[in-house]
Amino acid sequence: MKNGKGLKTAKNIAVYLLMIIAMIQLGFPFFWMATSAFKTSKEIHSPTPVLLPSEITFDNFHKAFQAAPFGKYVLNTLFVAVVVTASTLILCAMAGYGFGRISFPGRETLFILFILAMALPGEVTLIPRFLIAKNFPLFGGNDIFGKGGIGLIDSFSGLIIPNLMNVFGVFFLRQFFRTLPSDLEDAARIDGASEFGIFWRVMLPLTGPALAALALFTFTAAWDEFIWPLVILNHSEKYVVQLGLSVFFGEHFVEWGPMMAASSLVSLPVIAIFLFTQASMVKSIATTGLKG
Amino acid sequence: MIRIESTTRPKKITVSRRTRKALWGYFFIFPALLYFFVWVLLPVLTSFGLSFTNYNTATADWVGLKNYIDIFTQTKVYSALLKTIQFGLELIPANMIFSLILALLVDQKIRGVSIFRTVYYLPVLTSLVIAGIVWASLFDPRTGAVNWLMRLLRLPPQQWLYNPDLALHSVVVVRLWKGVGYNMMVFLAGLQSIPKELYEAAQLDGASAWQSFRFVTLPLLKSTAFYIFVMACISSFQVFGEIYVMTRGGPAGATRTLIYLIYEEAFQYTKMGYASALAFVLFLLVAGIALFNLLVVNRFVEDGR
């Protein structure tokens, strides 16, 4: 018995040791980013890296904000991400409900097409999506046939319209809608509720946890979006945070201090949202039995 | 009265109700269908069509199979393909081994494990631009922490991202750092779905810790590992952001993978027809590998049970 206990302690110590080594390996870049943001430029340029700044300075944040309007980039991104998240939730919920709970001719075929599209890498269709954006009717000086102007290029609509929803969200919510019992639906129908009323007032409120998860995925993806803004935006006043960061990086290559300050600020919201929702998310998944 | 009516009317009602419900179905999926047509189906068809032209935003003449012939005869494409394969061969095994080890660690029922789990997951939440910037700073030959560590270990400092021989390996490290946390979570879900009774039975039979890992855990993790492998194969073809931020495909084309080559041809040299053909070849390659995995590797996995 005593021997077994000793073995267990030894094993636990080994596990902790390994976990701490992995934590240093995976966590160090964050530590480096966060501490470098507060270092003086002398400390940053020292060939023997300074792990902790001797005194905390906000110079790097001032410099970053002087060199590029990161406040504006954050507002731009927030605007785009909020609109995209809201429309994704509504449109994916509608389509997920349609595919999940209403039978109509052609449903299975259409749904298989949707699933196939999930396997398609987005980069493959980057060029035609750019061309469709450029020739989008009635935007950016284009006529009804999509000629004459620049369409969605260099505009917030160009960031929003191609991301109004996503195929994954439809699949995700459809799976959830299918697990709901049909008693409530039938009861509401007997009470004379319309089909849209059943969806909006009865079924949608039941999908709260799934909608929250989809909102988190969508918002994070919109906040981190890089390639599409890179392709579609020309003028810096419309930049989103990731594009702003990468351009700022290209221009101020050697100034690590302001770079780390800006990167820390930009990564904060996503990490905060994750830490904030992590507990309730895990709980909601456990209680609704969504796992597996 | 009611009975008599119900014998004649219900048929009519159910038919019209069914059509009405079907119409509601179309109403609900209509926006998604429109979106799907404009931003998914149309781009795929356009991409295919453009690949037979020399489209460069000014002219678009039909050139037949010229783009495809160019692709298969140019050394630039060949070297990009080699880079892409090398990238996958280095990244995928490392990612799977490390994420399995991490999953085994955070599966232990000991205090504080959720804190470790969260820290391991943080790199997944970092955007690829920020990952690229922070690692470029760590790899900085003069002031970076990586060379500092090399000096501590009495190893010669390196140029990392500026050295054509090391640049690709450096990008693999960044991608590995960013990717292991996610696969750790998938492996963890797989580990936690293994019934406890199997371990108890193995223990009763006198199995050592290694034996129960080898004969209980590993066989039951096969399908999880297979899922991770398939996804890792697909995503290793799509590494763009880190390369764009850290090396722009350089030095001397050392990190110019297929996806980066497509971007370069399309948006820097505006050879969009050619780039579309390249994108289509990439798509066929990814689809082919996915299909091979599903048909051949999957059978091998199933047989090994």
ipTM of the complex: 0.83
pLDDT of B28 reads 93
Contact A127 B286 (CB under 8 A): no
Q: What is the pLDDT of residue B13?
A: 55
Q: Pick the residue with more confidence: B105 or B296?
A: B105
- Of A155-164, B14-23, B200-209, the poorest mean pLDDT is in B14-23
Helix H, strand E, coil C: the string for B190-251 is HHHCCCHHHHHHHHHCCCCHHHHHHHHHHHHHHHHHHHHHHHHHHHCCCCCHHHHHHCCCCC
Q: Tell me if B234 and A167 make a contact (CB, 8 A cut-off).
A: no
What is the C-alpha to C-alpha distance for residues B202 and B215, in angstroms, rounded to an integer? 9
| Residues of A (181-220) whose Cβ lies below 8 Å from B | 195-196, 199, 220
Chain-chain contact of B116 with A131 (C-beta, under 8 angstroms):
no
Q: From CA A167, how far away is CA A165, in angstroms rounded? A: 7
For residues B296 and B303, which has the higher predicted lDDT (pLDDT)?
A: B296
pLDDT at B199 over 90: no
Listed in sequence order, the residues at least 6 apart from A240 whose beta carbon sits closer than 8 Å to its beta carbon are A73, A76, A77, A80, A159, A225, A229, A233
Question: Could you give the angle at which helices A256-288 and A70-101 cross, rounded to 10 degrees?
Answer: 20
How far is residue B262's CA from residue B77's CA, in Å, rounded to a whole number? 10
From the list B122, B182, B177, the residue with the least C-alpha distance to A273 is: B122
Q: Is the sign of the CA dihedral A219, A220, A223, A225 positive or negative? A: negative
Question: Do B22 and A266 lie within an 8 Å CB cutoff?
Answer: no
Mean residue pLDDT across chain B: 85
- Say if residues B128 and B146 touch (Cβ distance below 8 Å): no
Confidence of residue B96 (pLDDT cuts 50, 70, 90): very high
Amino acid B16: pLDDT: 78
Q: How many CA atoms lie within 13 A of A221 on its CB side?
A: 19
Q: What is the pLDDT of residue A126?
A: 86
**Cα distance between residue B78 and residue B58, in whole Å:** 28
CA-based nearest residue to A171, from A219, A111, A122, A213: A111
Q: Which of B127, B261, B282 to probe the A interface (max A CBs under 10 A)?
A: B127
Tally of CB atoms within 10 A around A174: 20
Question: Closest-CA residue in chain A for B274?
Answer: A127
The tokens for A91 are 């449109």
Write out the two tokens for A190.
């007997």
CA distances from B278 to B50, B67, B273 (A): 11, 8, 9
Residue B55: partners with Cβ closer than 8 Å, 6 or more residues away: B272, B273, B276
- Is B53 in a helix, a strand, or coil? strand
Q: Are A37 and A264 in contact (CB under 8 A)?
A: yes
Spatial CA neighbour of B287 closest among A211, A69, A119, A192: A119
Which pLDDT tens digit goes with each residue over B143-169?
888 888 888 898 888 888 888 889 999
**pLDDT of res. A286:** 44
Judge contact between A92 and A173, C-beta under 8 A.
Answer: yes
Pick the CATH number of A68-251 from 1.10.3720.10, 1.10.1660.10, 3.30.450.80, 1.20.58.220: 1.10.3720.10
CB B60 within 8 A of CB A125: no
pLDDT at position B215 is: 87
In contact, B143 and B255? CB cutoff 8 Å: no
For residues B236 and B229, give the distance between their C-alpha atoms in angstroms, rounded to a whole number: 10
C-beta atoms of B245 and A46 within 8 A: no
User: Which of A9, A28, A123, A264 to mutate against chain B (most B CBs within 10 Å)?
Assistant: A123
**Which residues touch B153 (CB under 8 Å, ≥6 apart)?**
none
Asked if the Cβ–Cβ distance from B32 to A223 is below 8 Å, we say no
For A202, phi then psi, to 5°, come to -105, -55
How far is the CA of B11 from the CAs of A151, B8, B18, B23, in angstroms?
51, 7, 11, 18
The chain B residue lying nearest A128, using CA atoms, is: B43
Instruction: State how far the Cα of A56 lies from the Cα of B254, in Å rounded to an integer.
Output: 39
pLDDT, position A4: 67
Third-level CATH fold of B66-303: MetI-like fold (1.10.3720)
Which residues on B lie below 8 Å from A110 (Cβ)? 29, 33
DSSP letter, residue B77: H
Domain ranges of chain B: 2-50, 66-303
Integer Cα distance of B87 and B255 in angstroms: 9
CA B1 to chain centre: 66
Nearest CA in chain A to B283: A124
Strand residue runs (E) in A9-150: none
> Looking at the predicted structure, is the pLDDT value of residue B5 above 70?
no
Q: According to the model, what pLDDT value does residue B2 have?
A: 43
CA distance A73 to B16: 53
Amino acid at B65: L
Of A32-36, A247-251, B174-178, B182-186, the poorest mean pLDDT is in A247-251
Separation between Cα atoms, residue A91 and residue A211, nearest integer Å: 12
Does a cis peptide bond (omega within 30 degrees of 0) precede residue B251?
yes
Closest to B217 measured CA to CA, from B189, B194, B200: B194
Alpha-carbon dihedral B142, B144, B148, B154, rounded to 10 degrees: -70
CB pairs under 8 A between A and B: 234
Contact A199 B27 (CB under 8 A): no
Three-state secondary structure call for residue A121 = coil
| Residue A270 CA from chain centroid, whole number | 8
Q: How far is CA A15 from CA A23, A110, A216, B108, in A?
A: 12, 49, 32, 8
| Average pLDDT per consecutive 10 residues, chain A (292 residues; last block may be shorter) | 71 89 90 88 78 84 86 91 95 94 89 79 83 88 79 91 91 85 84 87 85 86 89 87 86 80 89 77 46 34
Query: Could you tell me the sign of the dihedral formed by the alpha carbons of B217, B223, B228, B233, in that order?
Result: positive
Residue type (1 letter), B149: L
| pLDDT band (50, 70, 90) for residue B175 | very high
Residues of chain A with Cβ-Cβ distance to B140 below 8 Å are: 256
Task: Residue window 56-85, chain A: list those with CB within 8 Å of chain B.
Answer: none
